[in-house]
């Protein structure tokens, strides 16, 4: 399940004017976020409530962005900026398209967190600034309880009394 952009807050380290974090969630593969400054470049995603995160998808295009393309990414999770822990590191070799980064806890389950930080540690060809074209965060699909008739199981008495045709 894709976690929609309006359900999270997004910020970043310095970016070039006109190429900010809004471009990371505009669903347009031609636009991009461009960092401005020293590595690592950070994109911070804060959720309104503790959220289960299964994976992070980042759209990059080495053919278009060359030295601006990330080559090493670190994913960090926590409740705020002060307690972030690294949960995944991924090396990218000239990526073109969606890069899927699974994020699991030490028990191989999706993480539950208030905040995700995507850190670009290095770029291809030792590039200084970074382009990322899109970021999508996915939560696992929830298994809905179903009754014998294939309908959902309701949890309140009010709804349960109307769940069967008599």
Residue-level pLDDT at 18: 80
Please give the model's pTM, rounded to 2 decimal places. 0.80
Backbone angles phi, psi at 6, to 5 degrees: -75, -10
Q: Residue ranges of the domains in the chain?
A: 5-160
Cα–Cα nearest to 153, from 143, 166, 138, 141: 143
Residue 1 CA, chain-centre distance (Å), reads: 12
Give CA–CA dist 54/112, Å, rounded: 9
CATH of 5-160, one of 3.40.50.2300, 3.10.290.10, 2.40.30.10, 2.60.120.260: 2.60.120.260
Residues in the chain where the model's pLDDT stays below 50: 6
What pLDDT score does 29 carry?
94
31 exposed, middle or buried (CB, 10 Å; 0-12, 13-18, 19+)?
A: middle
Residue 139 in tokens: 């939560």
């Amino acid at each position: 399940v894709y976690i929609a952009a309006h359900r999270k807050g997004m910020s970043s380290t310095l970016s070039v004017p006109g190429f900010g974090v809004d471009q990371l969630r505009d669903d347009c593969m031609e636009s991009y976020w461009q960092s401005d400054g020293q590595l690592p470049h950070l994109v911070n995603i804060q959720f309104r409530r503790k959220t289960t995160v299964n994976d992070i998808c980042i759209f990059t295009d080495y053919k278009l962005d060359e030295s601006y393309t990330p080559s090493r990414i670190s994913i960090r999770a926590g409740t705020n900026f002060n307690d972030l822990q690294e949960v995944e590191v991924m090396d990218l070799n000239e990526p073109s398209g969606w890069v899927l980064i699974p994020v699991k806890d030490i028990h191989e389950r999706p993480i539950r967190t208030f905040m995700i930080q995507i850190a670009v540690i290095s770029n291809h060809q030792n590039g200084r600034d970074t382009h990322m074209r899109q970021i999508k965060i996915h939560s696992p699909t929830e298994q809905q309880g179903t009754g014998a008739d294939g309908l959902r199981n309701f949890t309140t008495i009010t709804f349960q009394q109307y769940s069967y045709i008599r």
